[in-house]
Amino acid sequence: MNTIFVFLNFRIKQFFRSIREIGTPLFIILLIVTTGLTFKVLVFLSEVQGIEMAFFSFFIIASIHSTRKDSHFLKSLDVSRPLLFFAEYSMFLLPVSILLLFLGKMIPAIYWQLGMLPILFFPTGELKNNKVAPLLNLDKIPVKYFEIKLGSRKMFFVIVLLYIVALGCSFFIGTMILFSIFLLLIWPTLFEHFEPKEMIALEYEKGNFVKNKVANHFLIFQIALLPHYLMFLFYHREMWYLGLACFIGLGLGIIFNIVYKYASYRPNVPKMFSNSFQAIFLGTLLMPGFVIVSIGLIIYFWRKANNNLAYYYA
Amino acid sequence: MLEIKNLAVSYGTNEVLKNVHLTFESGMIHGVLGINGAGKTTLFNTIYGFKKPNAGSAQFQNRTIQNSDIGFMETSCYFYPLMTGMEYLKLLGIQNKDFDIKKWNELFELPLHEYVENYSTGMKKKLAFIGMMAMDRPIMILDEPFNGVDIESNEKLLQLLIRLKSTNKIIIIASHIIESLTRICDRINLLENGVIKTTFEKTEFPVLEKELKDSIKLKIDDVLEGLV
């Protein structure tokens, strides 16, 4: 019991440290973004009746559990692992349960907490991406889609799992919105790494580098998301404008991440380190009436990306 | 005594360990020597329970071995992001109330209040070693403990391991550095293609060193013939 207490104590410290690591200005921006997100989550939660909450918490915890890297470390601790997972995941899920209780939704709160129970007895980290990556035959993905290759290696299970879950839950009106927010949050991870300069030089020579990159990725991602849009329209035709908003939001997200990546590009630097503008973009995109700022950022960074690449490769 | 009986492990169709028989006695340092891919790490992972064997078992004091019997220092240990060295040691040494972290750290002088992610490879090794000492288990398995460690710490590690023999622990070490192994080990098992080829007692270590050097020379001569 003492081990679990010490472990949870560390996890809480780790959470606050990660906030400190982000830095105060970015934290304030993220706070604004998360306030907007919390509002949307509140609206979503007020419509949930019960069992769906267990379903959602199950998949959230399953995606965390299956990609944990600390299985060897935990094995060295003299503690019951299911009990440790139970304590850790309960703490992780608690804020939403408190929110639900605050809204007077006792049953969904209980379902939300209990959704993780089946996962506790499964070994962790069994679904490692590096185990499945060789089976995916990523070599067939052309080099110019470097980011898709990288994303598949890093987050294959999380993306596929949530893709299927979101598709399966499309009868529920909030799914498309939540799935879109999730995708907007992971786009930056896909685009944070810079490809080697030889790869850029090869494509740059063909002309319209940024434009082609944006068009190709926009097309690929939107085609991949087409089943979600269609299912949304199938179940909620009367709310078509919400589907359209998701389509536009996700599209803007793709464009922004590409132009921002090449605006910050430096040869021989492996990845982007500053993500302040990504937070501003996301914040303004999610807050009603501020979308114009997001579009303004896209225009600004598009120009900057072209100038930046021209400096190195023209 | 730790006894490995008929151990066979495979990854898919690739048989990594084949019918391995080994005996590790208390109060002794046992070396496991082998080239990359010989099966050393798989052997340790199987003893520790990370990998299920296809056949065979590991018995400690005439019962099936348990995790709580072993302190395992892996080739590269996992450290949580934003975790300090002190927190790592406190977590591992929670069951061992007598463990004096500060006293042990005098040996390696690690900045325990800094995040482990800022440590160098060698510092991480040393931290993992102190962590293993904090767990105070009867069996200690060290997979490549000398990799990335500076000369001074390497010497400290060697002397410490020699001293630990008096605590009656079973110490098992895998290393590529044969000089380190021959200096501290009482027995060295040569692992080749998943099979224990030979077990050398301390008196036979010069034979082992000569055999290894000769076999490497033979391979080099074979490959480089006509090239250099």
pLDDT confidence band for A137 (50 / 70 / 90): low
Is B96 an interface residue toward A (CB < 8 Å)?
A: no
Q: For B151-188, what is each residue's pLDDT tens digit?
A: 888 899 999 999 998 888 999 999 888 888 899 999 99
Determine the distance in angstroms separating the CA of B83 from the nearest CA of chain A, rounded to an integer.
7
The reply to whether B85 touches chain A by the CB within 8 Å rule is: no
Closest chain B CA to residue A75 = B67
Mean pLDDT for all residues in chain B: 89
* Least confident span in A64-68, A134-138, A145-149, B79-83: A134-138
Mean pLDDT calculated for residue range A91-109: 84
pLDDT tens, position by position, B208-218? 888 888 888 88
Around A269, how many Cα atoms within 13 Å sit in the side-chain half-sphere?
11
pLDDT value for A268: 75
Nearest to A14 by CA among B90, B111, B87, B94: B87
The burial class, CB within 10 Å (0-12 / 13-18 / 19+), for A104 is exposed
Please give the full DSSP string across A161-216, using - where no structure is assigned: HHHHHHHHTTTSHHHHHHHHHHHHHHHHHHTSBPPPHHHHHHHHTTS-HHHHHHHH
Sign of the alpha-carbon dihedral angle for A77, A83, A86, A91: negative
Position B8, amino acid: A
pLDDT digits (tens, 9 = 90+) for B58-101: 999 888 898 889 999 998 888 998 899 999 999 998 888 888 99
pLDDT at A205: 86
Count Cβ atoms within 10 A of the Cβ of residue A279 and give its class: 0-12 exposed, 13-18 middle, 19 or more buried: buried
C-beta atoms of A76 and B83 within 8 A: no
The pLDDT score that the predictor gives to residue A31 is: 66
Q: Give the tokens for residue A169.
A: 């839950």
Most confident of A7-21, B52-66, B210-224: B52-66
Distance from CA of B82 to the nearest CA of A (A): 6
Which residue ranges form the domains of chain B, and what is each CATH number? 2-79+136-227 (3.40.50.300)
Q: Is ipTM over 0.95?
A: no
- How far is the C-alpha of A149 from the C-alpha of A190, rounded, in Å? 9
The predicted pLDDT at position B126 comes to: 93
